Amino acid sequence: MPYSDHFKLTDDLIQHLDPILAGLNDPFIESRYTGFLSVSSVTVLELAMKTIFMDFANVKHKILANFCTKHFDRINGRIGLKLIQEDYLARFGSKYQTRFAKALEKLERQELLASGSSIKASYGNLLTWRNEFAHGGNVPANASYAEVKRAFGCGKQVMNCLATSMRH
C-alpha cells in the first residue's frame, strides 16, 4: 500500500467533521473533536512514515527490512522532526539525512513565502497537541479545529518530503 493511502483515514474524518463543526456553537464539544483529530492525524502520519521506511528497506535488503519491522513497530507516536532526522534517517546514512534536510528547508521557505506560516512549527504543534490529549487527557487549549486540520496538511507535506528523500 502506498504511504499516502494512510492519509485517507484522517481525510475522511475531516470530511465528516467539517459540516458538523461548521454548525456547532459548543466550544466544549469542538475541543474534544479537535483532540480526536490530533490523535488521528499523528496516527496516520506515523503509519505513513513506517510505510516509507519499510518500502525503502524492502527494496534494499531483506535483513534491513527485518530490522525496520522490529524497530519501527515500537515508535508509538515518536515522529518528531528531530527524531526523524537524527535517529531514524541516521540509520540509513547521511545521504538520506541531507536529502531530507534540504527538501524540508525548501518546503519551509515556500510555505513561509506563501502563507507566512512554518511547516516545522505546525508539525511540531500537532505532535504536542496529540501528546497532551492522548497521554494527559488535556484538550488542545491553544489550538482550534482549523489549526489542527492545517497542521495535519503540513504533516502530509513532511511525509511527502520524507518519501521523496528516501527514493533509491
- Residue 141 above 80 pLDDT? no
Q: Following DSSP, what letter does each residue of 73-135 receive, concatenated?
A: TT-TT---HHHIIIIIGGGT-HHHHHHHHHHHHHHHHHHHHHHS--HHHHHHHHHHHHHHHHH
Please check the confidence at residue 4 and state whether its pLDDT lies above 70: yes
Residue 153 has pLDDT above 90, yes or no: yes
Rounded Cα–Cα distance for residues 18 and 64 (Å): 41
Q: What is the mean pLDDT of residues 31-44?
A: 94
Query: pLDDT at position 71, please?
Result: 80
Mean of the pLDDT values across residues 92-120? 96
Q: Is the per-residue pLDDT at 118 higher than 90?
A: yes
pLDDT higher than 90, residue 72: no
CA 125 to CA 144: how far, in whole Å? 12
Q: And the C-alpha cell for 23?
A: 454548525
Mean pLDDT of 44-66: 91
pLDDT value at residue 168: 65
User: Per residue in 112-144, is it b (16+ CB within 10 Å) or e — as a string?
Assistant: eeeeeeebbebbbbbbbbbbbbbeeeebbeebe
89, pLDDT greater than 90: yes
CA angle 20, 23, 26 (to 5 degrees): 90
Who wins on pLDDT, 31 or 118? 118
Average pLDDT over residues 39-50: 96
pTM above 0.85, yes or no: yes
User: 8-41 burial, b for 16+ CB within 10 Å, e for fewer?
Assistant: eebbebbeebeeebeeeeeeeebbebbbbbbbbb
Domain residues of the chain, as ranges? Answer: 3-165
